[in-house]
Structures are given as structure tokens and as C-alpha cells.
Amino acid sequence: MNPNYVVVVKQSIDKLLTTKFIQLVEEATWLSPIVVVLKKNGKQKICVDFRKLIKATKKNHYLLLFFDEVLNNIVGHEVYSFLNGYLRYH
């Protein structure tokens, strides 16, 4: 890795670890390469190539319903909830 990018990568990873968006693992069967790119405003950011992750992920045979199907299923019910993945609701 380019030594000029080490600080940017470390700051980005530390921020993701602090917010618990990612977690540390001891061993991984796959690794996703990181690339540092310049934004239009001149700042640097990291991008992750997720192709290896996609290959390692099992395919879901039960696809999500279309939005209109979901709305048809909740019509007439008094209570419904939308879950927020960012806040880690399950």
C-alpha cells in the first residue's frame, strides 16, 4: 500500500470499528481489497471491492416481496413496524 494512504485507511477503519459498523475477526476465509480514491473535493476516501464477499455469500432463494405486495399485506392492521438496520433493530 502507498505509504501516503496509510493514515487515511487507519482513520477510516478506526471510525468504522468505533461505531461498531465493522468488527475485528481473527481469521477470514476471504479478504476484500481496499482502494483509496480521491473525491471531487480533493479529500481521500477508501472504497472496498466486495466481489470476493459476494462469491463467498450463500444465495437467498427466498427473495424479498415487492413493495406493493407488502402494502397489501399490512392493510387493515392497526400496528406495523419498519425496522432500522442502522440502529441494529432485529
**Which H or E run includes 39?**
none
For residues 33 and 53, give the distance between their C-alpha atoms in angstroms, rounded to a whole number: 10
pLDDT at 34 (0 to 100): 85
pTM greater than 0.75 (yes/no) = no
* Residue 47: how many other CB atoms lie within 10 Å: 10
Asked if residue 65 belongs to a domain, the reply is no
Asked if residue 27 belongs to a domain, the reply is yes
Asked if residue 46 belongs to a domain, the reply is yes
Asked if residue 86 belongs to a domain, the reply is no
pLDDT at 27 (0 to 100): 80
Asked if residue 39 belongs to a domain, the reply is yes
Asked if residue 74 belongs to a domain, the reply is no
Sign of the C-alpha dihedral computed for residues 89, 59, 31 and 1 taken in this order: negative
pLDDT at 4 (0 to 100): 81
Q: Which domain holds residue 40?
A: 3-57
For residues 50 and 48, give the distance between their C-alpha atoms in angstroms, rounded to a whole number: 6
Asked if residue 29 belongs to a domain, the reply is yes
pLDDT tens series, the chain, 90 aa: 788 888 888 988 899 899 988 888 888 777 778 888 888 998 888 888 888 888 878 777 776 666 777 777 778 877 766 665 555 544
